[in-house]
Structure formats: C-alpha cells, structure tokens
C-alpha cells in the first residue's frame, strides 16, 4: 500500500482543512478511504444510534500530486481509521504553508504523516511534521464502510440557511430532547418540539414527518461552518432524515435515523 | 523594603508574576542590593524560576530601611497573583504600584494607585523564610541556543497546549528540531500524534551545539517564560548540557533579568536502541542552485514512505520504564560546590554501560531516543539554605 499526495494551493488547503474540522466535530474516530480519484471520510456507527456520515472529496480538486496503490489490483483502495481531531489539528498548523504533503508511513506503527513547509522570512524554510497514528482496516471489514444507498424519500426539499436552523435548534434543545422535522412537497419545513408545557414550531416552509434526537441534529449543524452551495433534505417518513450537502465540489451526506 | 513601580513597568511586573505562577505555588520575595528578586520553585523541585528587577526598574527602590536587616518573605503565589490578575486592567487603569514590607505586622502591602483617585490596597500576609537559592551557572553549560522570543513562540505553535514535554535538539544540517515527547502509555494501543518542528540555524542569533545534541524538558513550564519574553520582545537564551542536567532559560534587558531552570530527562540506557524514528532527518530544501536538481518533489523524502503490509502488527517495542525528571547535581546549596563533582561521578557509576556522549550522538537524528529511567541514586533536591534566623 502506498499513498502520497501534495497540496500546493492555499485555497485548496483551506478547504481541505475546513472539511476535516467538520468531520472532527462529528465524531472522534473516522475512517479515511483512499482511492485513485477520491478521498472519503466515513463514519459508520450502526451500534450507537445509527448516525452515519459519508463525505467524498474528488482528489483532483485538492491535490496537485496524488499517488496511491491500494491493497491489491482488484481492491485498489486503502481504508484507515484515525482520530479525526488529529488530522484537523495537524492541518490547522498549516495556515501559512507553502506546501503540504501527506503520506502513509510506517514509523514503528502505521501513520499518516503530514509534512508542512511553512513560509519563513529567512532563507531557510521551516518544516512541521505530524505523525498521525492510524489503524489499517482489514479487507473483511470494508463492506460495512460502503457508500450508503440514498433512500427513496417521501419528501425532498432544499434546506434553508443552516446558521438560522442552528440557532433555532440550539434554543429548542433546552426544552426537549426530541425534535420533529416535518417537510412537505410544497417547500415547507417545520422544526417542532413538544413538551408537556409548551410546543414550539419554527416554520421554514413545508411537510412530511420524522422524529429525531435533537442533539444529533445539532451536532450535524454545528459542524457546518459554511453554508453549502446546495443542501437537500430527504425525509423517509418515520424512518430517517438524510441530508445531502454540496460544498463546491465536496459532497457530504449525513443520515439521522428516527427515534423509535 | 519599599519600592514604587510606575507606568508601563507595572504591567511588566504583572506579566512576570503570571510567568512565575506557572511554576510554583509560593513566591519568595527578596529585596537585594542589586534589585528586587522574585523566585519560585515547583513542588517536585524540578523547576526553578527567578526574576530580578534592577533598582532602575523602579521609580523608588529601597531594599531595607536603614538600620534594619533586609526582610525576606514567602507569599502564597495565588494571593500575589490576584493583585496582578488582570493585565488589561493594569495597563489601562493602574498608574503606580507601591510595595512595602512591614516586618512588625508580617504584611506585604501592595498598593495600586489607579485612575480617578482610586487606590487599591492589598495586605498580603507573609512568612519569614530562608533564601531560596539555586546554584546554576549558564557559563558551565557547553551548549547554547539564542533566538528572539517571537521565533520560539512560532516554533511551539504547532504543539497542542496540553502537551507536557518536548524534546529540543540539533538535527542534520544543524537544523533545530522540536519534537513532542510522549511517555510510553501503559495502554499502548492508543498512540498519540507526534509533532515535529524543524527550523534552520539561520533563524537563530546564536547556536553553539553539535548535531545530535538534545534535551527533553517540560514545555508547559517553558511557556511561562516564553510568553513573558514575547511580550517584552526580548531574546531568549537556552543554555544546556547533557540529558539529565538542568537547562537554563534566560532573558535579559537593562532593567531586569529572568532565569528559568528546568530539569531535563536523564540519558537513555543502552537497551533503548529501539529507534522510533529511524529515518534520517529530511534535508532542508535548498533555494540556491543545487548540483543535482531534484525534479521529483518526493525524492528528498524519507526512506520509508511506503505503507506496510495489510495485516499490520505493531512491532514489540522495548519496554521503557517511566523516565523521571531529576535535578542534576548542579543544583545544590552553595556550600556543597565540591560535592557537586562527586555527585556527578556517582551518577555515572551507577549507570554502567551508558554510552559515552559521542556514541549517543551518532545514533541520534535519526531519532530522538525516548530516554529511559536511569537508575540514579536519589537526586539532590534544591534545598533552602538553612541560614540562621534573622
């Protein structure tokens, strides 16, 4: 297995950093899948409430150089597990970087090594290296980490500005643990909470219903720092809500199952 | 003792107290002929810090009332720090700060004269104490590194604030390397991220050390002095020696000087040859024309940049006992200066087979050997001079 890649453009680096920060906000450990044309961040946690996330980054849009060799010819992919926070922290130190290289290495244990060449006033350059320990995921576990099928939704609607939703949901969290998301084909979205004393509904515009854990929804919203180019919410009534966000060229899908 | 600090120096004094508070819980205040000294030591006696403010730092400085012996006192750091807690407030509202020691009532009176006629008076109780002395001599350290505090501040930026220890060393091409140091966890399945910062020697004002030399010390304690030096825009000197011997961090300007003496991890034992970072340090990319141009950007990278086999098993690592931070025999009450050498020799003789310094260096960058615990005898601690009372 081999992997080496380089980011030479500041904007690409910023974008990649933001994506990794977003992933770090959603879970402690995540899986990184490396294939010839794309990188994926995957969170599959069927045991713990079934929240899962699938994020795909087309590699050409980020890396000026990208070489990988998977496990074998037939299985040309690499799956590793790492602490998402390590990656986001490493990338954050690359604020003034001239170039960033990332590669898979073996320094007594498998690592994702991030090497950053910093801009320096003097003639000599400064280098920062981060060795992020990773766990290689054996082939037999790969099938749990495949792209989830987008469910046949009862309703599909475009999302309103995420920041607005986040501030609303943040206040609602204090009243109830359960959030009802309703959407209809007319383009209305309601976020509703009900308790014994009070019922609060925020209308965005449409209807078709699912009840989810408010904290999971909030966690998802908290991770979104930039409003996506396009955000779609698919609801399978009483089963789950699926968010499909597109940030320029990175697609992120997030699934929240309904509370039973 | 009576002294008066005015203007911008009040904030400087406040910052110094903040720095000292990172080290110890008690502040030793001693007015000397050559200035006011503020000292502290940490509970494990592995870090000592001292600031000396020259008489010129003060608008008025009187070490002792005539006819009386100068008082020395020990105050709770928390109490003293509370006076200077808000640096912003000090800068904006405090015009003068007056400190006086009242022997009879055992009170250190700190009076802040603020804007609009507001005067805040703090009466801090103190204890008489012996003088806190550490014997250390920067000149006796063979290695020296000097750089503007700003550079060192940038150098530690990539490291997480919670990181306890860091290793500082000289690598290939005389690059100065800082690497996060992790003690081996009992639960070795959870590995921590390792961060390394490498800076060219040109960025340093002075570098007197050969390749392969390195020490490991407490980063948190160092940050205390570093933040002070950055705010005062001073250069910071690091005088150091072999691992195990204390490192002296010093700053100086015309009105004050500061010294932080930190213990370093002691030398590794021979069987920790299990090098963790075995590839040679990447040579710094050269700007000037090179005789062998490197078209492939990756060509200059480390040897093993290729991933291991699928079913990876982490190799058995050498078991290392937790290293202890011990003060070198160099820190001793002054009367034992001869005993110092004996102690040093005793230290060496209890660690048979310790590789001589040269050999150690040749194995070095390459790697930073995580120092193991050398079975030293009980290390001498920083003892208060037991002078007679009064």
From the centroid of its chain, how far is CA B50? 11
**Mean pLDDT for the stretch of residues B123-137:** 84
Test B158 with A132 for CB contact under 8 angstroms.
Answer: no
Distance from CA of B304 to the nearest CA of A (A): 6
Predicted confidence (pLDDT) per residue in A65-82, tens digit: 999 998 888 889 999 999
Test A101 with B301 for CB contact under 8 angstroms.
Answer: yes
DSSP B17-69: HHHHHTT-SEEEEEEETTEEEEEEE-TTS-EEEEEEE-GGGSSEEESS-TTSP
Rounded Cα distance, B29 and B39, in Å: 7
**Mean pLDDT for the stretch of residues B277-286:** 34
- Beta-carbon contacts of A22 under 8 Å, excluding residues fewer than 6 positions away, are A223, A224, A225, A252
Distance from CA of A156 to the nearest CA of B (A): 41
pLDDT of residue B377 exceeding 60, the answer is no
**Mean pLDDT for the stretch of residues B251-257:** 94
pLDDT of residue B79 exceeding 70, the answer is yes
Predicted confidence (pLDDT) per residue in A98-124, tens digit: 889 999 998 878 999 999 998 777 777
Q: What is the pLDDT of residue B22?
A: 93
B144, two tokens: 């020296």
A192, two tokens: 């509703």
Q: What is the pLDDT of residue B314?
A: 31
Percent of chain A past pLDDT 90, that is, above it, reads 26
Q: What is the mean pLDDT of chain B?
A: 73
Which of the pair, B332 or A257, is modelled with greater confidence? Answer: A257
Q: What is the pLDDT of residue B276?
A: 31
pLDDT of residue A27 exceeding 80, the answer is yes
Q: How confident is the model at residue A140 (pLDDT cuts 50, 70, 90)?
A: confident
pLDDT of residue A207 exceeding 60, the answer is no
DSSP B67-104: TSPPP-EEEEHHHHHHHT--HHHHHHHEEEEEEEEETT
Q: What is the mean pLDDT of chain A?
A: 83
pLDDT of residue A180 exceeding 60, the answer is yes
Rounded Cα distance, A20 and A18, in Å: 5
How many Cβ atoms from other residues are within 10 Å of residue B25's Cβ?
A: 12
Rounded Cα distance, B51 and B352, in Å: 39
**Mean pLDDT for the stretch of residues A131-145:** 88
**b/e sequence A220-254, b meaning 16+ C-beta within 10 Å:** bbbbbeeebeebbbbbbeeebbbbbbebeebbbbb
Radius of gyration of chain A (CA): 20
Predicted confidence (pLDDT) per residue in B320-365, tens digit: 322 333 333 333 333 333 333 333 333 333 334 433 333 222 222 2
Test B160 with A89 for CB contact under 8 angstroms.
Answer: yes
Q: What is the pLDDT of residue B284?
A: 35
Q: What is the pLDDT of residue B386?
A: 47
Q: How confident is the model at residue A244 (pLDDT cuts 50, 70, 90)?
A: confident
A230, two tokens: 């396009």
Are B151 and B199 in contact by the 8 Å Cβ rule? The answer is yes
CB-based contact (8 Å) between A125 and chain B?
Answer: yes
Domains of chain B, start order: 2-128 (3.70.10.10), 143-184+193-265 (3.70.10.10)
The answer to whether the pTM exceeds 0.90 is: no
> Which stretches of B101-183 are DSSP H helices?
149-156
Q: What are phi and psi of B234, to 5 degrees?
A: -105, 170
Q: What is the pLDDT of residue B189?
A: 66
Is the CA virtual torsion B3, B8, B12, B18 positive or negative? positive
**Mean pLDDT for the stretch of residues B61-86:** 88
Nearest to A6 among B198, B297, B311 (CB): B297
Rounded Cα distance, B260 and B262, in Å: 6
Distance from CA of B228 to the nearest CA of A (A): 23
Percent of chain B past pLDDT 90, that is, above it, reads 49
Which of B120, B85, B96 is CA-nearest to residue B14?
B85
Chain B CB contacts of A131 below 8 Å:
193-196
> Which stretches of chain A are DSSP H helices?
10-26, 84-92, 162-172, 214-223
Domains of chain A, start order: 2-144 (3.70.10.10), 155-257 (3.70.10.10)
Give the number of C-alpha atoms closer than 13 A to the C-alpha of residue B187, restricted to the C-beta side: 2
Test B305 with A124 for CB contact under 8 angstroms.
Answer: no
Q: What is the pLDDT of residue B268?
A: 59
Q: What is the pLDDT of residue B280?
A: 37
Which of B193, B216, B185 is CA-nearest to residue A133?
B193
pLDDT of residue B285 exceeding 50, the answer is no
**A53-62, B244-253, B307-316: which is most confident:** B244-253
Rounded Cα distance, B270 and B355, in Å: 7
Q: How confident is the model at residue A216 (pLDDT cuts 50, 70, 90)?
A: confident
Q: What are phi and psi of B10, to 5 degrees?
A: -65, -45
CB-based contact (8 Å) between A226 and chain B?
Answer: no
Point out which residues pair with A155 in neighbouring strands: A235
| Helices B8-21 + B219-231 axis angle, to 10 | 170
Give every strand in the sheet of A189-194, ordered side by side.
A199-203, A189-194, A178-183, A209-213
Distance from CA of A93 to the nearest CA of B (A): 6
**A194-203, B229-238, B267-276: which is most confident:** B229-238
CB-based contact (8 Å) between A108 and chain B?
Answer: yes
Which of the pair, B382 or B74, is modelled with greater confidence? Answer: B74
Q: How confident is the model at residue B186 (pLDDT cuts 50, 70, 90)?
A: low
């Amino acid at each position: 297995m081999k992997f080496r890649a380089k980011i030479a453009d500041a904007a690409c680096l910023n974008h990649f950093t933001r994506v990794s920060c977003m992933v770090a906000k959603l879970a402690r450990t995540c899986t990184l899948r490396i294939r010839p044309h794309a990188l994926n961040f995957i969170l599959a946690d069927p045991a713990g409430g079934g929240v899962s996330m699938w994020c795909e980054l087309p590699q050409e849009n980020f890396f000026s150089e990208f070489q990988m060799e998977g496990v074998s010819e037939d299985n040309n992919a690499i799956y590793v597990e790492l602490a998402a926070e390590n990656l986001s922290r490493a990338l954050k130190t690359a604020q003034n970087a001239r170039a960033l290289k990332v590669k898979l290495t073996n320094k007594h244990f498998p690592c994702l090594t991030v090497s950053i060449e910093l801009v320096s006033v003097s003639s000599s350059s400064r280098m920062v290296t981060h060795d992020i320990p990773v766990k290689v995921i054996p082939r037999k576990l790969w099938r749990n980490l495949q792209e989830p099928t987008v469910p046949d939704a009862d309703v599909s609607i475009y999302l309103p500005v995420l920041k607005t939703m986040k501030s609303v949901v943040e206040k609602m969290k204090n009243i109830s643990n359960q959030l009802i998301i309703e959407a209809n084909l007319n383009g209305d979205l309601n976020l509703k909470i009900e308790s014994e004393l009070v019922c609060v509904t925020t209308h965005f515009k449409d209807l078709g219903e699912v009840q989810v854990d408010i904290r999971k929804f909030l966690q998802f919203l908290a991770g979104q720092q930039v409003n996506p180019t396009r955000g779609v919410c698919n609801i399978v009534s009483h089963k789950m809500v699926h968010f499909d966000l597109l940030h320029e060229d990175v697609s992120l899908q997030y699934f929240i199952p309904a509370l039973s | 003792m009576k002294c008066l600090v005015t203007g911008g120096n009040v904030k400087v004094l406040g910052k110094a107290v903040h720095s000292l508070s990172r080290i110890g819980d008690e502040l030793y205040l001693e007015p000397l002929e050559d200035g006011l000294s503020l000292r502290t030591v940490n509970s494990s006696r592995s870090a000592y810090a001292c600031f000396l403010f020259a008489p010129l730092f003060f608008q008025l400085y009187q070490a002792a009332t005539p006819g009386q012996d100068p008082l020395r006192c020990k105050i709770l750091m928390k109490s003293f720090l509370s006076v200077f807690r808000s640096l912003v407030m000090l800068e904006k509202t405090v015009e003068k700060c007056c400190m006086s020691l009242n022997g009879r009532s055992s009170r250190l009176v700190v009076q802040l004269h603020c804007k609009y006629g507001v005067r805040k008076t703090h009466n801090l109780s103190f204890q008489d104490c012996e003088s806190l002395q550490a014997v250390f001599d920067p000149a006796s350290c063979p290695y020296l590194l000097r750089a503007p505090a700003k550079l060192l501040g940038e150098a530690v930026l990539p490291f997480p604030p919670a990181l306890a220890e860091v290793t500082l060393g000289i690598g290939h091409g005389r690059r100065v390397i800082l690497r996060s140091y992790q003690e081996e966890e009992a639960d070795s399945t959870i590995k921590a991220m390792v961060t390394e910062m490498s800076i060219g020697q040109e960025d340093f004002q002075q570098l007197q050390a050969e390749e392969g030399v390195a020490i490991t010390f407490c980063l948190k304690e160092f940050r205390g002095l570093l933040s002070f030096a950055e705010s005062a825009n001073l250069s910071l000197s690091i005088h150091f020696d072999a691992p195990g011997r204390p490192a002296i961090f010093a700053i100086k300007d015309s009105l004050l000087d500061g010294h932080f003496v930190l213990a370093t991890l002691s030398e590794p034992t021979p069987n920790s040859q299990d090098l963790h970072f075995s590839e040679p340090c990447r040579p710094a990319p050269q700007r000037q024309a090179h005789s062998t141009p490197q078209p492939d950007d990756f060509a200059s990278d480390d040897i093993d940049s290729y991933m291991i086999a699928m079913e990876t098993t982490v190799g058995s690592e050498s078991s290392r006992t937790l290293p202890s931070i011990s003060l070198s025999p160099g820190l001793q009450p002054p009367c034992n200066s001869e005993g110092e050498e004996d102690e040093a020799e005793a230290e060496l003789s209890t660690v048979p087979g310790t590789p001589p310094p040269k050999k150690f260096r040749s194995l070095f960058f390459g790697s930073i050997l995580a120092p193991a615990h050398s079975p030293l005898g009980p290390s001498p601690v920083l003892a208060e001079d037991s002078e007679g009372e009064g």
